[in-house]
A and B are shown apart, each in its own frame.
Chain A
Amino acid sequence: MVRLPYLTALTTLFSYGLLFAFGQMRDFFRKILDLWKSKNLQGYAPICLGLEDFYTRRLYLRIQDCFNRPIASAPDAWIDVVERYSKDSNKTLHRTSKINKCLNLGSYNYLGFAAADEYCTPRVIESLKQYSPSTCSARVDGGTTKLHAELEEVVARFVRKPAAILFGMGYATNSAIIPALIGKGGLIISDSLNHNSIVNGARGSGATVRVFQHNSAAHLEEVLREQIAEGQPRTHRPWKKIIVIIEGIYSMEGELCKLPEIIAVCKKYKAYTYLDEAHSIGAIGKSGRGVCELLGVDTADMDIMMGTFTKSFGSCGGYIAASKEIIQHLKNTCPAHFYATSMSPPAAQQVISAIKVVLGEDGSNRGAQKLAQIRDNSNFFRSELHKMGFEVLGDKDSPVMPIMLYNPAKIPAFSRECLRRNLAVVTVAFPATPLLLARARICISASHTREDMIKALEVISKVGDLVGIKYFPVEPQKHLTDKIQKKLE
């Protein structure tokens, strides 16, 4: 549920219309001018039709300097951003050798493991010396080291499932596993705001895909009933299996998934559940075990739990945790297991050490401290932003908070003004989000100190005044209760 002022909706649509009109005019003149230039295609077809990349050429390239910013240090609480300049209004960008030290509000560094850590880094360096940076092989050939076996056990124990399997890349985990689990004749029902990796995996599997309204257990039930009654398209035979795919924290909304209601619906209709905990594992829950722990759902009720190591554990890669039979089946069928290079051993060691810190098995209570720190930081930051009058999405305790911008011109304005004041934020626009709902996404980390956050809040408040995104200025207390009421509905 997003509230926006009506005038903002009108002006946003009008601005996009204007940008579209200008883009079309420029394309029209470009076509005329190109009639004179000779085309050196030599009979080959052009790689892309002029219509397909219209959005990239005429809208994205205008504000290209707000995306893809190169960094020159580890993505800790403070990050070095390389300055770039452009001589042809952002069509090409050139790096300089100057570096800006900025406060980092854009990295998924939830527990602060992204920079050197006193427990993890010495062990990672040692494993780098022993096992070398790459296994140079797929898991099934020669790429399973002791670290991989240990990490699979540690992950299974952490997530509270019987077994786990690892992959070298989080995106590839989703897009390679879903086709191995379900094929033609099956039905995938996925939340409408699911990540692109799930969408790709679902498309690649060949199963029929249906979408249910974001976080709505009622609509999921409606879709399930309709699909089970109709059966497969054309033949109307019963579906071979039904998988419902949801995420723990939706990265563009910062919202938690309504897990208990959705699990209840899936159990009633005997559909399998697949939970993607990319952003929630390690960051929420009393001991960091993710959204199941936070919402009190028994992990035996989730059929397949997927997660990545990139966000909370400061490494790279993904895992799937499920019952022993499913994991054994995946080890025998999943192409990412047979052909993709296995996880890098130092990365695996980083995850093992990070999980040990989170669970307190390294002998200190730094894990519990980090978890408490990120919870306090997120709640503090979110409540302060609310008080200032910004429209901030996301549930309590969630470390991801999008600040709504709406108008397309405010996206580069916010991004550039923040960078000028040494604050690095990530802005997201269409097509990663719906057209009207462009936003700046803030990711809070356990390594942000109170002073860092106060400084960030000052800068955001100043830039918010300049850019004009404080949409709820009066009576913030009243709007907070309104929002809480809406969440309860």
Chain B
Amino acid sequence: MAKLYVETTPPPDLNKNTEWFMYPGVWTTYILILFFSWLLVLSVFGCTPGTAWTIVNLVHFAITYQFFHWRKGTPFAEDQGIYNNLTWWEQIDNGKQLTRNRKFLTVVPVVLYLIASHTTDYQQPMLFLNTLAVIVLVVAKFPNMHKVRIFGINADR
């Protein structure tokens, strides 16, 4: 395969927790990870493709909710805790809403939902779980939900 090269200038984002998301190749890696995990689930459980997509969708929901919308702060101490009240979703792009990265990350759960519900033929227990997952994820990514903590859940320590 001919070698494809990409060029990048380091982006002026000071938050080391989120600046890695501005590099080329991130979106492709995300999509490839989802695709390969679907193959993995299919080979391990030997279930129907639709069930495999449902499993991928639900695990994706759990993981992205935990890391994007639940955990706050950064995994290093050098920034002296200035982001300790912000989840990863609130930190990316310096808090600017409706950037390309944010739009991409909002579209991914919806596309996963469409694939999962289509391949399961919209049958009941799976459809309900998939719908729940996509509603929670998309609502959490709305610009109006920036720094909102419903009923004080996950507010400051």
Q: Which residues of A contact B (CB under 8 A)?
A: 1-7, 9-10, 13-14, 16-17, 48-49, 51-56, 192-193, 211-214, 219, 430-431, 434-437
A2 vs chain B, min Cβ distance (A)? 6
A215 to B, closest residue via Cβ: B9
Q: Which residues of B contact A16 (CB under 8 A)?
A: 20
Docked pose: A346 CA to B14 CA in angstroms: 39
* 0/1 string, B1-26, CB within 8 A of A gives 1: 00111111110101010011001111
Among A1, A214, A436, A437, max chain B CB count under 10 A is at: A436
Main secondary structure of the interface of B (DSSP, over half): loop
Please tell me if the beta carbons of B5 and A431 are within 8 angstroms of each other in the complex: no
Q: Which residues of B contact A1 (CB under 8 A)?
A: 7-9
Residue tally, chain B, CB below 8 Å to A: 29
Please tell me if the beta carbons of A192 and B5 are within 8 angstroms of each other in the complex: no
Please tell me if the beta carbons of A51 and B71 are within 8 angstroms of each other in the complex: yes
Docked pose: A55 CA to B78 CA in angstroms: 11
Q: Which residues of B contact A214 (CB under 8 A)?
A: 9-10, 12
Stretch at the interface among B28-36, B48-56, B103-111, B133-141: B28-36
Contacts A14-B33, A52-B77, A435-B23; is A6 near B4 (CB within 8 Å)? Answer: yes
Please tell me if the beta carbons of B29 and A13 are within 8 angstroms of each other in the complex: yes
Please tell me if the beta carbons of B23 and A434 are within 8 angstroms of each other in the complex: yes
Please tell me if the beta carbons of B7 and A6 are within 8 angstroms of each other in the complex: no
**Total CB contacts across the A-B interface at under 8 A:** 97
Q: Which residues of A contact B81 (CB under 8 A)?
A: 52
Please tell me if the beta carbons of B32 and A10 are within 8 angstroms of each other in the complex: yes
6 extra interface residue pairs, beta carbon distance < 8 Å, beyond A17-B33, A54-B76: A56-B76, A192-B12, A214-B10, A431-B16, A431-B78, A434-B19
Q: Which residues of A contact B125 (CB under 8 A)?
A: none
Q: Which residues of A contact B16 (CB under 8 A)?
A: 430-431, 435
Please tell me if the beta carbons of A211 and B25 are within 8 angstroms of each other in the complex: no
Which residues between 104 and 130 of chain B lie within 8 Å of chain A, taking CB atoms? Answer: none
Q: Which residues of A contact B5 (CB under 8 A)?
A: 3-6
Contacts A52-B76, A53-B77, A431-B78; is A13 near B25 (CB within 8 Å)? Answer: yes
Please tell me if the beta carbons of B7 and A2 are within 8 angstroms of each other in the complex: yes
A213 to B, closest residue via Cβ: B12
